[in-house]
Amino acid sequence: MKQTYAQSNRSDLTGISAKDVWASYGERSVLNGFNLSVEQGSFVALAGPNGVGKSTLLRLVSGVIKPSRGHIAVAGRDILALSTRERARLVAVVPQDPELPHGAPAIEVVLMGRNPHLGLLSWESDSDVETAVEAMRMTYTEDLLDRSVDELSGGERQRVAIAIALAQQTPFILLDEPTANLDLAYQPAIMELMRGLVSSGKTILAAVHDLTLAAQFCDKVALMCDGANLTAGPPEETLTEENIKTVYGADVRIMEHPETGKPVIVNSWG
C-alpha cells in the first residue's frame, strides 16, 4: 500500500522533552521522575505493561493534564504555557478508544481536524475539505466518506480517528495504541504511513503494545517500568530478552526479521 506525504517545512522544531516528570491519580502514583527526549523528525514508541503510565504520559505531553512535578516541552515551548488553540495547532492526539460524534458522516468527523485552523464563526473551505478527503485516502477510509460513524467497525473507527489527526496538519502526533483495533493488513500499513510522515518531517510519539511492530517501524523504543524510563534507544539495543523480562516479567526469544533484520519478539512457551 503506497502512500504520498505532504512535506513539512517545520525544520526549526526541537522535538519533545519530558524532564523529571511525576504524575498521580489521587494517591496512586503513575509516573515517578520520568525522563525522555524525542528528537524532531523521529518516530518513538512507548512500551511497557498495562498501567505503567504510557497513556498518562501522552496526556501530559498533549497538555490535557498537568504533572505534579517536572517539565514537558514541545518544540522548545512549555506545553502548559500554550493556549488550547496553540496546542491544537502543534499537537494532534489519537486516543486509544476514540469517541466520535454519534450519527455524523465520517467526512464531517474528519473535518473536525480542521477546527484549530478556522477563524471565529468561519466555515470549512474547499481546501479544508480537500485536506480531510486526502487524510481519509491516506488512512484507507475514503470509501467511508458518507457512512455514519455509528455503522463503522472498531478498526474503521480507529482509522477515521487517525484521519482526524492527519487533517489537523500538526508537526507533532501522539498515538495511543494506534493499531490495537486493526486487522493484520492495516497494522503494518498504518505504521508504514506513520513512518512516511516522519520522513516528511513530522515527529511521532506512540504508545505501542506490539513490540515487533515497534521494532520494525520506530527509530527508538522507550521501555517503561515502575513509572520511569528503564531504557530508551534503537530497537536493537532496547528490545533485549533481559530488558523485556525486567519490564514484562516474560521470557521471550529475540529473532531477526528475515526481510528487515529488525528484532522479532517471540514468547517462550516451554
Span 46-102, pLDDT tens digits? 999 999 999 999 999 999 999 999 999 999 999 999 999 999 999 999 998 888 999
The cell numbers describing 132, all together, are 480531510
pLDDT computed for residue 6 by the predictor: 38
Ordered structural domains, the chain, with CATH? 16-233 (3.40.50.300)
Beta strands in the chain (DSSP E): 16-25, 28-38, 43-47, 69-74, 77-78, 91-94, 172-176, 203-207, 220-225, 228-233, 252-256, 263-267
pLDDT computed for residue 76 by the predictor: 95
- Please report which residue ranges of 80-120 form alpha helices under DSSP H: 84-90, 106-111
pLDDT computed for residue 270 by the predictor: 56
Span 219-245, pLDDT tens digits? 999 999 988 889 999 999 999 999 999
Query: Whole-model pTM above 0.95?
Result: no
Q: Where is pLDDT greater, at 120 or 97?
A: 97
Span 124-183, pLDDT tens digits? 899 999 999 999 999 999 999 999 999 999 999 999 999 999 999 999 999 999 998 899
Q: Is the pLDDT of residue 4 over 60?
A: no
